[in-house]
Amino acid sequence: MFYREDPPFRDRREAGARLAELLGEYRDKSPVVFALPRGGVPVGAEVASALGAPLDVIVARKLGAPGQPELGIGAVAPGGVRVLNESAIKRLGIPESYLKSVTERELREVERRLRLFREGRPEPDVRGKTAILVDDGLATGVTVFAAIAYLRPRGPKSIVLAVPVCAAQTAERIRPEVDRLVCLETPSDLGAIGFWYRDFEQVPDEAVISGLRSFRQD
């Protein structure tokens, strides 16, 4: 693939800075930026900094198929939010007992990570505001669907999804679910998200916590 040798993004921070350039119209509208950890946090930090906005996280976890944890059959988000790929579940013949157990396990992990990352801080109030949801890239987008399902009932004026790179098919599926999709690259042949970055090192929990602390209002 071409982008293995010549990725368009130096790293997540540069990608975030480029996204922020396309989101400048929200600078004076008191938006709230939510990043999907861990990789979305450096991207979201650049966006939030440029817009003078608070930064928080929405932890969403993929539900993996039996014996194929990388195959997402759904996802969960805080408060028991769950979205399922019903066609995949039916095609694979996945029993309800498995769905129940994997959902319970991943929801526990969602709550653990939220406690770790937020350190007791309350979630920002998005009622009547623009919520900007940020990640470092979308392949199937399964966790983003769960994050959107979590955000929508909280009453934001609009939900903007901003990502540096998103598979073209995923972009078409997710566009009707948000008020605006901002994406720098929408390849039909995505490959791995990491192919689109020269530096795509794993983001440790400590970096997420440090990044969020820098946006504390208290």
Q: Are 210 and 44 in contact (CB under 8 A)?
A: no
Percent of the chain with pLDDT over 90: 94
The residues, ordered by sequence, that sit 6+ positions from 40 with a Cβ below 8 Å of its Cβ are 57, 134, 135, 136
Residues listed for the chain: 218
Return the pLDDT at 216. 78
The residues, ordered by sequence, that sit 6+ positions from 158 with a Cβ below 8 Å of its Cβ are 130, 131, 179, 180
Domain that holds residue 143: 2-61+117-213
Q: Which residue bears the tokens 């769950």?
A: 82
Return the pLDDT at 70. 87
36 within a domain of the structure (yes/no): yes
Q: Are 75 and 62 in contact (CB under 8 A)?
A: yes
Q: What is the pLDDT of residues 57-97, one digit of tens each?
A: 999 999 999 999 889 999 999 999 999 999 999 999 999 99
- Could you give the number of structural domains in the chain? 1
Q: Are 74 and 59 in contact (CB under 8 A)?
A: no
Return the pLDDT at 217. 63
Q: What is the pLDDT of residues 105-155, one digit of tens each?
A: 999 999 999 999 999 999 999 999 999 999 999 999 999 999 999 999 999
171 within a domain of the structure (yes/no): yes
State yes or no: pLDDT of 4 exceeds 60. no
Dist CA 48 CA 38 (whole Å)? 16
Beginning with the edge strand found earlier in the chain, give each strand of the sheet holding 158-165 in spatial order: 55-57, 32-35, 130-134, 158-165, 180-185
Q: Give the H or E element holding residue 114.
A: helix 96-118
Q: What is the pLDDT of residues 172-205, one digit of tens each?
A: 999 999 999 999 999 999 989 999 999 999 999 9
Return the pLDDT at 74. 97
Return the pLDDT at 6. 86
State yes or no: pLDDT of 3 exceeds 60. no
166 within a domain of the structure (yes/no): yes
133 within a domain of the structure (yes/no): yes
Question: How many CB atoms are closer than 10 A to CB 197?
Answer: 23
93 within a domain of the structure (yes/no): no
State yes or no: pLDDT of 2 exceeds 80. no
In the predicted model, what is the mean pLDDT of residues 31-41?
A: 97
- CATH (domain of 8): 3.40.50.2020
Dihedral Cα 110, 113, 115, 119, nearest 10 deg: -150
In the predicted model, what is the mean pLDDT of residues 29-48?
A: 97
106 within a domain of the structure (yes/no): no
98 within a domain of the structure (yes/no): no
Dist CA 179 CA 26 (whole Å)? 14
154 within a domain of the structure (yes/no): yes
Q: What is the mean pLDDT of the chain?
A: 95
